[in-house]
Amino acid sequence: MLYIVSTPIGNLKDITFRAVETLKSVDLIAAEDTRHTQILTRHYQIDTPLTSYFEHNQFKKGEYLLKLLKEGKDIALVTDAGTPGISDPGYQLIQLARDNDIPMTVIPGPTALIAALTASGLPCHNFIFEGFLPVKSVARRKKLEQFKGEERTVIFYESPYRLTKTLKDIEEVLDNPVVVCARELTKKFEEVRKASARELQEYFSKKTPRGEFVLLLNQ
Ligand code: SAM
Could you report the per-residue pLDDT of 63-109, keeping only the tens digit for each? 999 999 999 999 999 999 999 999 998 899 999 999 999 999 999 99
pLDDT band at 2 (very low <50, low <70, confident <90, very high): very high
pTM score:
0.96
Long-range contacts formed by 174-178: CB under 8 A, 24+ apart: 174/144, 174/147, 174/148, 174/217, 174/219, 175/148, 175/149, 175/219, 176/219, 177/217, 177/218, 177/219, 178/122, 178/217, 178/218, 178/219
At 5-23, the pLDDT tens digits run 999 999 999 999 999 999 9
Within 10 A of 161 (CB to CB), how many other CB atoms are there?
9
Amino acid, single-letter form, for residue 105: T
Is 20 touching ligand 1 by the criterion CB < 6 Å?
no
Amino acid, single-letter form, for residue 5: V
Atom 19 of ligand 1, nearest CA residue: 112
Mutate which of 11, 157, 184 for ligand 1 pocket (most atoms within 8 A of beta carbon):
157
Q: Cα(70) to centroid of ligand 1, in Å?
A: 32
Is 133 touching ligand 1 by the criterion CB < 6 Å?
no
Q: What is the mean pLDDT of residues 134-161?
A: 97
At 198-218, the pLDDT tens digits run 999 999 999 999 999 999 999
Ramachandran region, residue 101 (left: φ > 0; alpha: ψ -120 to 50; beta: rest): left
Q: Cα(212) to centroid of ligand 1, in Å?
A: 6
**Whose CA is closest to 214, among 183, 168, 178?**
183
**pLDDT at 59 (0 to 100):** 87
Q: Cα(9) to centroid of ligand 1, in Å?
A: 7
pLDDT higher than threshold 90 for residue 55: no
Q: Cα(79) to centroid of ligand 1, in Å?
A: 11
Is 190 touching ligand 1 by the criterion CB < 6 Å?
no
**pLDDT at 58 (0 to 100):** 87
